[in-house]
Structures are given as C-alpha cells and as structure tokens.
A and B are shown apart, each in its own frame.
Chain A
Amino acid sequence: MDPSPAIPRRRFVKLLAASAASLAMTSDPARAAAKTAERHRAAASAPPKSTALDKELRTEKKSVADMLKVVRSYKLPAGSPPAMAFRPMKARRGRTS
C-alpha cells in the first residue's frame, strides 16, 4: 500500500461521496507511528501566530465557551429520547437452521 497521506484522503473522499461516515485507516503499527511523527512535524512547522491572530483566536474560544455554557446548562426533560438511532445489523441470509 502507498504510505503517502494522499491515499487515506482519497479513500476518505470516496467514502464522503457515498455518504458513509467512517474512515478506513491502516492498522500497521509502523505506519501509524510514522504518521504520528509526521503529525508532530506538521504541528511544529505551524506558522507562528501573530498577536492579532492570537487575540482573535482567544475571542473565538470565548465564543465557543459561551455556546457550550448554554448547551450544558439546558435542562432536558427526563426520559428525553436519543437523537440518533443506532441501527441493528442486517440478519445473515442463507442460514439453514
């Protein structure tokens, strides 16, 4: 398999196109470790934040915190239903018993 990050992304794109909700990822430990290192390198090479950007990001984080405060403090009625239905798998076909 091509270890380049473009492959999982292409897969991801195809899954998005099919409205699927999961991303198939490699389970190879060596490759996973390489990806983690690559991520760390990417994070380390992130552009330095300017003062103005930093200030704006603090404002945005405050806005998210305010939004979360509202969501978390909202009292749901007891027995409030779940929002999403986890659907059972389909029964295996062709069983004789």
Chain B
Amino acid sequence: MIGEEVLYRTVTELSADIKARRISPVELTEAYLDRIHQHAGRYNAFATVTPDVALEQAREAEREIGRGRYRGPLHGIPYGAKDLLATAGIKTTWGAAPTKDQMFDEDATVIRKLREAGAVLLGKLAMVEFAGCLGYREAGASLQGPGRNPWDRERWTGGSSSGTGASVSAGFVAFGIGTETWGSILCPSAFCGVTGLRPTYGRVSRAGGMVGSYTLDKIGPMARSAADCRLILRAIAGPDPSDLTSSDEPVQIDRRRPNYGRLRAALIPSDFAKTPGAEREVGSRFDDAVEDLRRLGLKIETAALPDLPASELTTAILYAEAISAFEPFFEDGSVRKLHDPYAPYQRDVTAALTGSDYIKASRMRTVLQERMAEFFGTYDVIVATNFLSVAPSIHEDFTKTLPYPDPVGAVGNGCGLPAIALPMGPGKDDMPTSFQIMGSPFDEGLLLDLGEAYQGATGHHLAHPPVGA
C-alpha cells in the first residue's frame, strides 16, 4: 500500500526506490490514479486522465526494470503534461472550447522524449484557454474551469499552466510539464508553491506544442525540487529537426557545486511599499531569501536592468504573433466560444499595431539582447521577486488583484532567458510565495545548482498543502 507521503516524494527519491525495486511503477501509478480519482476534480486540475496509457506504460517499465533494463531516473515515474502538447490518440484541447475535441496523429517531441525516458503519462493537465495568449482576466477562462489552488480552493492556481501547478502541488503527479510565453511557468509555480524552470528559448523543442507566440513560447518542467527539474530538463532538452528554432547548444546541466563566493548576482529590487497590490509579507520572505543566498556565499548587489522599454516591445511582439497564430479562430468566428469575454475582440483591440511596429519591436529586442549580454558580462545571475502577492481569489478580476507590472519577466521572456522559480516560505494566509533566479542564455545548470543549494539550506520546497483534509 502506497501512502500519501510517497506520492509527495521527489522524483530523485522515487527513482532511487524504483531502481532498487523497493517501489513498483505499477503500484505507484495506481496510487496516483486513485488520488487523482478522489481529489483532482475538486481542483479542475486535469483535462484528460489517461489510466489505460499510464498503466500500460507502468507495466512496461516494471517489466524492463525487472529484466535489468533501467532507462534512467524518469523510468517508471508518473507525470502529467499541459494540454497543449500533442499526444497521439488522446485529446489535446488547448484549454479552449473551439478545440475541445482536437486530436493529433503524433506526439509532441517532449512527450516522445519522456516516453523514451520511461516516464508514465497520467494525463493531460488543465490550462488557461489558448495559454492566455489572447488575454484573460478571470480564473474561469479555461475549458476545464477555474484552476483551484490546492492550498485554498477559493484561490487561483496561477496560469496558464494551471493544472500543472495544481497537480504537482497536490501530489497528483510526480512532476509536470508546463509552458511559458510570458509568466505561465513562473506564475503557477509561485501561487502553488512548486519549483518551476523556464528554459532558454530554443533549449526544449516546441514541435507538437500549440503556438501562442512564435518567438516567446518555451516548454519546461514544474516539480517538487530544483534537483527534479534538472532530471526532467535533461530528458527533454536538445536539438530537434522538427523545430527549426530548437538550439544545438550543448546541454550542459550537470551539477557542478560552483564556488558561490566567486559568483556575482544582480538584485533587482521591488518597491513593496509603493507598488499597488504588493504584499509586505512577500517582501519579507524575499528579504529572507536574499539573505539565505548571501549565506551560501553569493555576492549580491543591487542593480538595474538595461534602460529599454522591455514591457512594451515584448507586448507588441506577443500581440502580433498571437493574433497571427490564432487567426483561423477569428476567421471562422469560433473565437467567440472562448470564456474570456474580451478575447473575441482582441484583433480589433490590437488593430493599430502594424507590420512595421512588429519589426521595430523585434529590432528593439535585438538591442535588448545585446544589452543583456553586456549585463551578464558583469553578473552571473539575476535575483528578483516572482509575484509580489500570493494567489488571488478565483472570483475576482486579475486586473484588480494582480495590478503590478512584471519588468523582469518582460526582459526574461523578451530575450528568451532561463529562470527558476523557488518557493520561499509562507506569505499572507499561509499561502506560498516564490522568488526567481534568472540566468544568461543556456545557463540552466547554474540556476539549478543555486536552486539546489538554496533548497538544501531552507527546505521551503518541501511544504505541501492539506489536500483531502
């Protein structure tokens, strides 16, 4: 009998037990499926549960491991994937009514790679409709219903990887795959108290994934620890001939135990006193996190990001690309089936944005990338807040509950930089809080090293919600 505490173990722990045959992949999968069956519906966490696929994959893993053919640390580990990654023979809804019955013939590259690593697909995870790329302001903007936070069902999970955040947090999966165009991994990681890694643009193939924005979309792991994110990234990273934007930069993410005293971090401060919606409890936790990093030896000094309008240029690029990507739904009128009442008018709202504006914003982005390359000549990483408040109510308009800007996210997503979201302890009403460490391109290994060191020193990532209580 597998108890709840096992389902909350990290991938690192589970894989050691599976390899040593102390835990059966089939029994582990059955235990997760039972938990999903009992509780997941209360959180709108899944788009589709795939028990038959999961049990078949788990039995195969058990057979292989029994024969001594151990594929690696994800072998026999149950996971869930955001429902914008194509899965052959399983619906891929993109979280949206116009595509609620959509089927694909082939798996997305990430799904294929995880299958080849021996991971077990428990199901497709709920998400904000069209990953929020046409805008949204309510938790209910999802085919699967509002993402309910396992720490408090009346609060939002964050989005757009809402089901991934909820499922990792609630122990429905051992890890999940999320995606980020702008904030969609870091936000639910923050609100649900999980560890999320947004890889460098091009690090992970996007073939078979829904396109929200051609030059902003990234795919990455959400899990219970930085160490787990490393294992998952290793399995899914690398070049892919099916994705012309995937990079052939070597995947160098092995643990290095760097001399932290030789690293310089830029602290991008947030003004918690003057920023509308910012909560002082989050500010206090962030101060604690910075001190914890200093205790590890990291040299941290206050710095400013390059003086370019990153939010405006990234927004212009996102609008232009999203309107193009979802053009068929505007053309046939099915965009009106979306839950968000404003999304159907988004093409009209952004009609003033011209082709030359898009080109200009893209050229500005090149300048921003050059400035960030110079910035990373001085600093190894950036330490910054993630969200300035804890998860808001599912009943309120996000323009009111989350009114603050995201300057670090604008630079990070605009330039395609990697970042890791790390839980940093409880905030208001004991809800999770989170900060981020952002790195230079393809320096995920350093972010993971720092994340592991921070988590080893604090243990905030081990907290989990009282699901089912």
Contacts and interface: CB of A to CB of B under 8 A. Distances in A.
B342 A53 contact: yes
B331 A81 contact: no
A6 to B, nearest CB: 8
A42 to B, nearest CB: 4
Interface residues of B, number: 51
B263 interface: no
Contacts of B252: none
A17 B242 CA distance: 9
B316 A71 contact: yes
B345 A57 contact: yes
B327 interface: yes
A19 B207 contact: yes
Contact of A17 (B86, B325, B357, B363): B86
Contact of A84 (B344, B352, B362): B362
B18 interface: no
Given A57-B349, A74-B364, A83 B359 contact: yes
Interface of B: 86, 99, 102, 104, 106, 108, 206-211, 214, 242-245, 308-309, 312-313, 315-316, 319, 325, 327-329, 331-333, 336, 341-342, 344-345, 348-350, 352-353, 357, 359-367
A33 interface: no
Contacts of B214: 21
Contacts of B367: 76-77, 80
Contacts of B207: 17-19
Interface of A: 5, 8-9, 12-14, 16-19, 21, 23, 35, 38-39, 42-43, 45-47, 49, 53, 56-57, 60-61, 64-65, 67-68, 70-72, 74, 76-77, 80-84
Contacts of A65: 352
Contacts of A81: 363, 366
6 closest cross-chain pairs (CB), A and B: A83-B362, A42-B333, A70-B312, A5-B332, A9-B328, A60-B349
B331 A71 contact: no
B362 A19 contact: no
Contact of A47 (B244, B336, B365): B336
Given A64-B352, A81-B366, A8 B328 contact: yes
Contact of A5 (B108, B331, B359): B331
A17 B353 contact: no
11 contacts: A13-B99, A16-B211, A21-B214, A23-B328, A46-B333, A46-B344, A60-B342, A71-B364, A82-B366, A83-B362, A83-B366
A19 B206 contact: yes
Nearest to B245: A19
B312 A71 contact: yes
Contact of A68 (B86, B352, B362): B352
Given A19-B211, A19-B242, A80-B366, A68 B328 contact: no
Contacts of A83: 359, 362-363, 365-366
Contacts of B362: 83-84
Given A19-B245, A45-B333, A72 B357 contact: yes
Contact of B363 (A12, A64, A72, A76): A76
Contacts of B86: 17
Contacts of B325: 16
Given A17-B208, A74-B364, A76-B364, A57 B348 contact: yes
A91 B306 CA distance: 42
